[in-house]
Structure 1
C-alpha cells in the first residue's frame, strides 16, 4: 500500500498530466491559486468576504480553464481518450463540475427569492449584508462539496484515496502557485500547449 505522501504525489501528477495541457488553463490556475491563497489569509478575519473572493474569482477562473481551454480530444501524450480520463477522475470530473457549478449559480437566485433562506438568516438590511449571507452559503457549499466527495471516495475507492484527495484539494493553491507560476509568461511569448509530456517521454 502506498504511503499518504506517495499517494498524494500520484494524484497531483495524474491531475497535472491529464488535465493541464493548455497554458491558458495553467495561467488561469495560477490566478486561481493567488486568489485562493489570499482568501485563505482573509478567512481568519472575514470568512464571508473570503468565500466571495474564492468563489467569484478563484473558482470561476479555475473552472473556465477546464471547461473552455483544456483540449478534449484524444490525449496522445498519455495514450488516453477524454472519456477514459473523465471516467477515472478521482475528484470532480466535468460532468460533476457542471452539477456543482449549477448549484453554485442557483444559490444567489434562491437567496434573492428568499433573503432569509427559510429562516437561516435575519432579513438583510442592505446589499452588503445580502452579499455576506451569500458568501456564507457559498462557504458552506464549498465545504459540503469537499466533505461529500471525500466520504463518497471512502465507498467507491477507499479511505486513503478520499483523505488524500481532500488534502490535495486544500493544498492545491500552494502546489498550483509553484507549478504554474511561469505559465503566464510562456503564454505571452506565444506558447499555447505545454510540452512537458513530450519531454517526459524522451
Structure 2
C-alpha cells in the first residue's frame, strides 16, 4: 500500500473496531475540539496546552473507550474483542492503562521529588507545581507517540510507524469531520453505528 492508502486503512480499522457507540463518537468530537485548542496553545503556553490535552481531551476520549464501547463479540466486523485488541496498531486498552497510570502517578512523583532528579526547577507555589506537572504531562504525551512510532518501525516497518504517527497527530481534525453528526444520531435514539456509510466509502480490498 502507498502511505495514503495505509493511512486510510488504519483510520478505517480504528473506526470500525473501536467507535461503534454514538456516545463514544460524541465524546471523541468533544475531545477532538479540545485537542485542536491544545495544538494552538502549545506554541504559546505549553503548560496550558498539556492541561487541556490531558485533563479534557484525553479524559473525554478514554471515557468513551472504556465505559461506552462494547466489549462483546463484534457482529459487524465478525471479530472478538480479544482479536481486536491483539491487532490494534496503536495503543489498545491494556497499553492505555499503562500510559494513563504513568500520567496519573507523575504528580505524585513530582511531589516526592520536586526536581524530578534534576529535570525541573522546584516549584515554590501551587501554581508552580501545576506548571511543572503540566510540562511533564506534555513530555509524556510526546514520548508516548514517539515510543510507539519507533516500536512500530520494528514490528511493522518504517512506513507503518510513520502512518500511525500521522494518524494520531491528525486524528482531532479527522474526528471532527466524521463525528460531527453524532449528537444528531444520539437525539434520534440511534446509539450504535452500523458502519454502512463507511463500508461504501472504503475500497473493497481494505474492508477485511
Instruction: Find the counterpart in structure 2 of residue 153 from structure 1.
Output: 152
Alignment of 1:113-128 (within 5 A): 113-128=112-127
TM-score after normalising by structure 1: 0.95
Instruction: Find the counterpart in structure 2 of residue 166 from structure 1.
Output: 165
Aligned length: 200
Instruction: Find the counterpart in structure 2 of residue 55 from structure 1.
Output: 54
- Give the whole-Å Cα distance in 2 for the aligned partners of 1:27 and 1:112: 35
* Cα distance, 1:106 vs structure 2: 0.5
Instruction: Find the counterpart in structure 2 of residue 89 from structure 1.
Output: 88
Instruction: Find the counterpart in structure 1 of residue 38 from structure 2.
Output: 39
Superposed CA offset, 1:54-113 (max 9, x none): 000001110111111001111111011111100110000111111111111100111122
Instruction: Find the counterpart in structure 2 of residue 184 from structure 1.
Output: 183
Residues 183 and 198 from structure 1, CA distance in 2 versus in 1: closer, same or farther, beyond 3 angstroms?
Answer: closer
Residue 90 of structure 2 aligns to a residue whose secondary structure is coil
- Give the whole-Å Cα distance in 2 for the aligned partners of 1:174 and 1:200: 21
- The answer on whether the counterparts of 1:17 and 1:197 sit within 8 Å (CA) in structure 2 is no
* Cα distance, 1:191 vs structure 2: 2.1
Matching of residue 135 in structure 1 with residue 124 in structure 2? no
Matching of residue 107 in structure 1 with residue 106 in structure 2? yes
Task: Give unpaired runs (5+ residues) of structure 1.
Answer: none
Residue 134 of structure 2 aligns to a residue whose secondary structure is helix
- Give the whole-Å Cα distance in 2 for the aligned partners of 1:200 and 1:154: 29
User: Which range moved further: 70-79 or 108-117?
Assistant: 108-117
Alignment of 1:8-47 (within 5 A): 8-47=7-46
TM-score after normalising by structure 2: 0.92
- Give the whole-Å Cα distance in 2 for the aligned partners of 1:133 and 1:145: 18
- The answer on whether the counterparts of 2:24 and 2:61 sit within 8 Å (CA) in structure 1 is yes
- Give the whole-Å Cα distance in 2 for the aligned partners of 1:156 and 1:30: 31
* Cα distance, 1:187 vs structure 2: 1.5
Task: Give unpaired runs (5+ residues) of structure 2.
Answer: 201-208
Residues 199 and 157 from structure 1, CA distance in 2 versus in 1: closer, same or farther, beyond 3 angstroms?
Answer: closer
* Cα distance, 1:117 vs structure 2: 1.4
User: Which range moved further: 30-39 or 124-133?
Assistant: 124-133
